[in-house]
Structure 1
Amino acid sequence: MSLLKKSLIISAILAAYIVVVAFAVDVNTGNNVCDVSKKTLFNGTQNPNGECVTTVMGEIPSKDKMVSTIIRFPKDGDTVQENQPFTIVTKTINLSAGFFDDPATQYYSFPQTLDDQGFIQGHSHVTVQQVVDENEPFDPQVFAFFKGLNDPANGQGELSVLVDKGLPAGKYRVCTMVAAFAHQPTLMPIAQRGAQDDCTRFTVVQQNNKRSLLSKLLRRK
């Protein structure tokens, strides 16, 4: 078979593939998805029943300015005392923090934007969930603590929040959720990358449990 015939066959296959994909995208996930969707059109509120959002994605940073986060406290294996205040500390790079719209009336209402240096303008969140089963996904509707980190970061890129009432004894997972201005997850320029968020697992221990154990042992003597 000549090279020309091979090229024509390949071109025909590609053309057919493009037609099929284009048709499927137009019906299911094209830019007109909200015209054909059965979901309610969004209005800036958080709809627990789901909705269809028409806001465009907006500005995407270059790959050398992608977001990355680490949880500085609590780290994996750390312990804190039950029902005692403690501070969650995170550090994020390549985020212009402090940009936060009203989630009650402007949820998903604005595209992602970049500042003059090309960094995403946004904010972060932390969410803490109790570990029920290490081998099963967590129920996203159940959490022990949640807070938006809306302020600008300090000079080291750190954001923090006080868990003012502490937590009951148990095992927990804390995760960050970095977001753009209108609370949508940050959008990156390439698919193959490191995660922009972090999670750690820590333990909340009963107060003075070591002292209680010691006193029990002494009483036995």
Structure 2
Amino acid sequence: MSFLKKFLIIATILTAYIAASVYAVNAKTGNNVCCISKKDLFNGTQNPDGECVTTVMGEIPSKKQMISTVIRFPKNNDVLKENTPFTIRTKTINLAAGFFDDPLKQYYIFPQTLNKNGLIQGHSHVTVQKIQNENEPLDPQIFAFFKGLNEPADAKGELTALVDKGLPAGKYRLCTMVSSFAHQPVLMPVAQRGSQDDCVRFTVVKK
């Protein structure tokens, strides 16, 4: 292949890449992305095929009021007995908990809001997944336990979830997912920050 042909091929690839990149961040697209998207327009339901959401981001807290979470139980590397009930305990700072809309009819339908003290109004979730291979990402469609923590925090500042039947023996990962009122992940004011969520790994053994 001649140098000219190689040059033309490379130039064509670069042109296509630049065009795609510019289109992806084109300021003129902005909030009109759903007008050109091939995804269905959202309607407040959870669409497993994906969708395009027009809800604005809403209110963002100050840097001093960013979300941070710790899982208090089970702790990292804890060992639990199989099929034995236990209570997951978490604590989140700078979250006005207890704000939770109907996820079947109002999913992503409201923007993020702050209370009078500048705290995000929202709730949290806990999700437990069994670990099959510690070196590979877990399948997000498969979980052993999931629960929305919809109530206000208790007197200890904790949000809790009872795993009433316990879990079968195995290795597990437990994570929090803190959300705004309408279930979207909480939005923070700066990119460089600590995570708003926490994860631990624990083991369940046979009795």
Q: Secondary structure at the match of 1:31?
A: helix
| Cα shift at 1:79 | 1.1
Task: Go from structure 1 to structure 2 and tell me whether the alpha carbon gap of 1:201 and 1:24 turns closer, same or farther (over 3 Å shift).
Answer: closer
| Cα shift at 1:29 | 5.7
Q: Secondary structure at the match of 2:48?
A: coil
The aligned residue for residue 138 of structure 1 is 138
2:148 aligned with 1:148: yes
Tell me, in whole angstroms, the C-alpha distance in 2 between the residues paired with 1:147 and 1:49.
22
Q: Which moved more, 1:23-32 or 1:145-154?
A: 23-32
CA contact (8 A) 1:26 1:32 kept: no
Tell me, in whole angstroms, the C-alpha distance in 2 between the residues paired with 1:132 and 1:24.
36
Tell me, in whole angstroms, the C-alpha distance in 2 between the residues paired with 1:84 and 1:24.
50
Larger radius of gyration: 1
The aligned residue for residue 191 of structure 2 is 191
**Partner deviation per Cα, 1:128-174 (whole Å, 9 max, x = no partner):** 00011000000000000000000000133210010001100000000
Task: Go from structure 1 to structure 2 and tell me whether the alpha carbon gap of 1:85 and 1:69 turns closer, same or farther (over 3 Å shift).
Answer: same
Equivalences, count: 188
Q: CA RMSD in A?
A: 1.6
Structure 1: gaps of 5 or more residues = 1-19, 208-221
The aligned residue for residue 57 of structure 1 is 57
Identity of counterpart residues, as a percentage? 73
TM-score (norm 2): 0.87
The aligned residue for residue 75 of structure 1 is 75
Task: Go from structure 1 to structure 2 and tell me whether the alpha carbon gap of 1:150 and 1:29 turns closer, same or farther (over 3 Å shift).
Answer: farther
| Matching of residues 1-221 of structure 1 within 5 Å | 24-26=24-26, 30-207=30-207
| Cα shift at 1:123 | 0.1
Tell me, in whole angstroms, the C-alpha distance in 2 between the residues paired with 1:27 and 1:63.
26
| Cα shift at 1:80 | 1.1
Task: Go from structure 1 to structure 2 and tell me whether the alpha carbon gap of 1:26 and 1:72 turns closer, same or farther (over 3 Å shift).
Answer: same
Tell me, in whole angstroms, the C-alpha distance in 2 between the residues paired with 1:60 and 1:21.
27
The aligned residue for residue 9 of structure 2 is none
Q: Secondary structure at the match of 2:30?
A: coil
Q: Which moved more, 1:96-105 or 1:148-157?
A: 148-157
| Cα shift at 1:118 | 0.1
The amino acid of 1:173's aligned partner reads R
CA contact (8 A) 1:27 1:33 kept: no
Tell me, in whole angstroms, the C-alpha distance in 1 between the residues paired with 2:143 and 2:43.
26
**Partner deviation per Cα, 1:79-103 (whole Å, 9 max, x = no partner):** 1110110000000000000000000
Task: Go from structure 1 to structure 2 and tell me whether the alpha carbon gap of 1:147 and 1:33 turns closer, same or farther (over 3 Å shift).
Answer: same
**Partner deviation per Cα, 1:113-137 (whole Å, 9 max, x = no partner):** 0000000000000000001100000
| Cα shift at 1:26 | 3.5
**Partner deviation per Cα, 1:43-64 (whole Å, 9 max, x = no partner):** 0000000000000000000000
- Relative to total residues, which structure has the larger helix share, 1 or 2? 1
The aligned residue for residue 3 of structure 2 is none
Structure 2: gaps of 5 or more residues = 1-19
